Structure 1
């Protein structure tokens, strides 16, 4: 359970929230949680259990409002997660890994680790880009969230696909 880069932390938070949208639930078992963690760079051994699955889903639901809320509310959510789960940051090179930063207790569960790590990532991102760089897709049939670090490029959609689908729908509505 390590932190590799600020971009990785934001991607981890976005992808975690996006495991439950209008699409079917993606975290359906400890195995699917294991796959999620491995896809996001966690080194073996990754062996979550049912309790981890429940805890990670709870963290996901606590993170979701950060993408929907104004800055004060979002900051309150992140500050609450950091106060509850983060520990004093420390450097580690355990198991032969390169030096990296830890912000969760060495014995943290997957849920506790994700809470501390994603809260730190989103807080760092918001401090650098503002909370307006975090958003929810504007497509009527999508609930995916995104983080947009680009300056001077307001973003309303999670992907170009959602943007195109929305424009085509609006065009067809205007030109029957």
Structure 2
């Protein structure tokens, strides 16, 4: 398990983990999918995932998902519970010949536990800096992806410009059809 590198990395990891299961097909269907997800998010070899850990990673994803959907006090409770369960006081490590880096997961944590600790810490730090209103769920009716928006003066309702455009076009067509 690699470093705590940057808070932005942990926030992106949380968002992308939640978005592995939306209205689109499930993206984490086998251990190799989790392995590739971790590699795509900057982890280095060795990354070994077995079937039970795939199940654990998907459970962690479902523990994090509500943070984007609930009121701030409930989101804070969820994150605090995850931190209490999975995180420890940060410590420096240089395991496996890697450069010194921070860990927040318990020593010996598996990938699911590492994801729980890291993503909870990332989202907690993001919410503390930007407010829970900066955590969002796409407003497109046919999408349920989540996103973060650190821009204070630019409210965001959609996960991507594609969803925003698709929604605007559908609204325009609906208005034209009724007039």
Shift of 1:92: 1.7
- Deviation per CA, 1:61-90: give whole Å up to 9, x if none: 010000001110000000000000001111
Equivalence map 1:97-176=2 (5 Å): 97-176=98-177
Question: What TM-score results when the alignment is normalised by the length of structure 2?
Answer: 0.96
- Deviation per CA, 1:123-144: give whole Å up to 9, x if none: 0000000000001000000000
Equivalence map 1:72-87=2 (5 Å): 72-87=73-88
Tell me the equivalent position of 1:89: 90
Q: C-alpha distance in 1, partners of 2:133/2:58? A: 25
Structure 2 runs not aligned, ≥5 long: none
Question: What TM-score results when the alignment is normalised by the length of structure 1?
Answer: 0.98
Tell me the equivalent position of 1:71: 72
Q: CA RMSD in A?
A: 0.8
Tell me the equivalent position of 1:6: 7
Structure 1 runs not aligned, ≥5 long: none
How many residues are matched? 176
Q: C-alpha distance in 1, partners of 2:79/2:86? A: 10
